[in-house]
Amino acid sequence: MGEGVRILSKRDLKKFRFSSHLGNLTLAIAVSSLVVIATAVFVFYRFVVPNQVQQFATDRATTIALSAQYWVVLKDSNAEELKSFESFLLLKENLLIREQTLDELEQSMDDMDSELNLQPIFKHGDFARRFEQALENNLGHEVQILQDEETRLWVQIPFEQSEPITVAFYVGSPPVQTLYWGLVFLIGGVIVVLIATVYTFRRISRPLTRVVKAAESFRGLSGFTPLPEQGAYEMVSLAKSFNKMAEEITTLIENRIAISAGLSHDLKTPLTRMRLALELLPEDIDPKFKQKFEDNIDRMTTLITDAALFAKGQTEPDQKVNPKNLISSTVRSIDENIQIEWQGKLPTSVQLAPSALDRCVTNLVQNARLHATGVRLKVRATANELYVHVVDEGPGIPPEDRQRVLQPYVRLDKSRSTKTGGSGLGLAVVVQLCLFHQWKFELHTSESGGTDAVLTIEINKILQS
C-alpha cells in the first residue's frame, strides 16, 4: 500500500473517540462498574442469601421444636391452656399442631370427604433440607416432611414417651428484603456513576471533536470559521489558541500568495518582452538558436505559472460536471493516443471542483509522459468514490522515495535536465489540491513495474441526470 495524502474521515473521528484517553477512561469505568455489579450479585447469592436462609430455617426449626415439646407437656396437664396455646401458635406463628401421624391425617381427611394431597417437597427444597437438618438437631431424632398443594409443609415429629404429632405451617419468605434493597441501591449507584461518567465524557469530548473537525477542515485560507470560545476554562483556552494559530497561518499564507502573485506578474512582463523581441529578430538568425531561446522562455513561463499556482493554493467551489467528459477532454488535449479504460457505472453528473480535477489529471499525465512510456488511464466508479488511475510502464518510483517525491521542488532525476527532470512541482500541486478538496492521492506500483498514480475522489452527492 503506497503512502499518500489521507484526509480524516468520519470513521477516523469515531476511532479517535474510542481510542482517546477519555474514551479509555469511560471504558475502564464501565467495565469496573459491570465487575462491581457482577461481584455484588455473585456474593449476594453465593454467600448472603444462603446464610440468611440457613438462619431463617434454624430459627423456624427451633420455634417448632420448642412449640411441639411444650404442646406435648400441656396436652397431659392443662386442656384450657393447651387450647390457648394452639390459638396463639395459629395466630402468631401460623402453626397448626395435630396429634396424628401424616398417614392418619390423610386418612381422616378422606373420611371427611376433604382431600389432603401430601407429596415430597419440591418448591422449598433448599429451605426444607436446611430446616429438616436443624429440626433433627434440636430434637435428636429424624423427622418426616411433606408438602401439600398450598405449599404448606407438614412435619411429623415423633416423641419417645408420646404419640407422634404433626405440625403444619407456611414457610414464608426469609428476611432478606433489606439485603435485596441494599443490592438494588448498590446497582443503582453504580449505574448512576456510569451514566454520569458517560455524560461527562460527552461534555468533554464534544468540544474536542469540534477542534478535530476544525483542524481537519482548516486549509490556511480565508473563510475559516473560528471555534466558539465558550465552555470550561480549558476548552476556552484551547479554542483561543487554535483561533490565534489559524489567524496567523492564514495571514502568513495570504502574504505568501500576494508576494508570489506580484513576482509572477513582474517576471512575466520581461518574458513577454523577450518573446516579442524574439519574434522581431531578423530572418538570418540561426533557427536553432532562435528555437532554443524560445524553449527557454516557455520553460521559464511554465515554472513561474506552476510556482504561482502552488503558492496561491486556493480552493474552488464544487460544480455540477460530467466526470467522464471532463477527464476525456483533459486527456485528449494532452495526447489523443492515450487510452482510457472505464470501469463501473460512472454517474453522468457529480458535484466536484472541475478546474482542480483538470489540473490534477493534467499534471499526472504530463508527469507520466515525461518520465515513462505506455501511459494509460483507468477510471473506476463505485457508489461513493471515483478512482482515477494514471498508469505507466516506466521504471517506477521506489517505495522509500514515494513520500519525498510529493514535496515541492523534489526531482528524482538528479541530472535536473529540462527534458527529463521536470520542475518538481507537478505532484506537489496535485497533493495540495487534494488536500484542499479532501481528495486522496497515492502512488503504487503498476502491474508492469511502473507507477500507478491513484486519485480518489469521495462523491458525497451524486446527481443523476
Q: Does the residue 320 lie in any domain? A: yes
Q: Is it the case that residue 447 has pLDDT exceeding 70?
A: yes
Q: How confident is the model at residue 158 (pLDDT cuts 50, 70, 90)?
A: confident
Can you list the positions of beta strands (E) in 281-408? 319-321, 339-343, 350-352, 376-381, 385-391
Q: How confident is the model at residue 246 (pLDDT cuts 50, 70, 90)?
A: confident
DSSP assignments along 403-435, one per residue: TGGGSTT--S-TT--TTTT--S-HHHHHHHHHH
Instruction: Indicate which CATH number applies to the domain containing 251.
Output: 1.10.287.130
Q: Is it the case that residue 298 has pLDDT exceeding 50?
A: yes
Give the whole-angstrom CA distance, residue 183 versus residue 320.
Answer: 63
Of 274 and 444, the one with more pLDDT: 444
Mean local confidence (pLDDT), 14-29: 64
329 and 446 belong to one structural domain: yes
Of 123 and 208, the one with more pLDDT: 208
CB-neighbour burial class of residue 126 (10 A; exposed 0-12, middle 13-18, buried 19+): middle
89 and 146 belong to one structural domain: yes
Mean local confidence (pLDDT), 457-461: 71
- Is-contact 110 34, C-beta < 8 A? no
Q: How confident is the model at residue 114 (pLDDT cuts 50, 70, 90)?
A: low
349 and 309 belong to one structural domain: no
Domain boundary at 272, 295, 314, which?
Answer: 314
Q: Does the residue 205 lie in any domain? A: no
Give the whole-angstrom CA distance, residue 29 versus residue 339.
Answer: 59
Q: How confident is the model at residue 173 (pLDDT cuts 50, 70, 90)?
A: low
Q: Does the residue 198 lie in any domain? A: no
Domain boundary at 178, 209, 227, which?
Answer: 178
Contacts of 368 (CB under 8 A, 6+ apart): 375, 390, 391, 392, 394, 451, 453
The CA-based diameter of the chain, rounded to the nearest angstrom, is 157
Residue 457's H or E segment, with its range, is: strand 451-458
Give the whole-angstrom CA distance, residue 406 versus residue 425.
Answer: 8
Write out the three cell numbers for 84: 390457648
Q: Is it the case that residue 115 has pLDDT exceeding 70?
A: no
Q: How confident is the model at residue 421 (pLDDT cuts 50, 70, 90)?
A: very low
Mean local confidence (pLDDT), 432-458: 90
- Is-contact 153 82, C-beta < 8 A? no
pLDDT value at position 308? Answer: 67
pTM (2 decimals)?
A: 0.48
pLDDT value at position 258? Answer: 72
In whole numbers, what is the pLDDT of the chain averaged over residues?
79
- Supply the range of the domain harboring residue 93: 25-178
Q: Are strands 376-381 and 144-147 parallel, antiparallel or unpaired?
A: unpaired
Instruction: Indicate which CATH number applies to the domain containing 451.
Output: 3.30.565.10
Q: Does the residue 77 lie in any domain? A: yes
Mean local confidence (pLDDT), 25-43: 81
Give the 3-state secondary structure of residue 398: coil
Model confidence over 356-413: pLDDT tens digits? 899 899 999 999 998 889 999 999 998 888 999 999 998 999 999 998 888 887 777 6
Model confidence over 62-104: pLDDT tens digits? 998 898 888 888 887 778 888 898 899 888 888 888 888 888 8
Q: Does the residue 17 lie in any domain? A: no
Q: How confident is the model at residue 219 (pLDDT cuts 50, 70, 90)?
A: low
Domain boundary at 266, 298, 314, which?
Answer: 314
Picking from 217-231, 368-382, 387-401, 447-461, which range would have the lowest pLDDT averaged per residue?
Answer: 217-231
Q: How confident is the model at residue 277 (pLDDT cuts 50, 70, 90)?
A: confident
**Number of separate domains in the chain:** 3
- Is-contact 427 409, C-beta < 8 A? no
285 and 345 belong to one structural domain: no
Can you list the positions of beta strands (E) in 124-270? 144-147, 152-159, 162-170
Structure letter (DSSP) for residue 462: B
Share of the chain above pLDDT 90, in %: 13
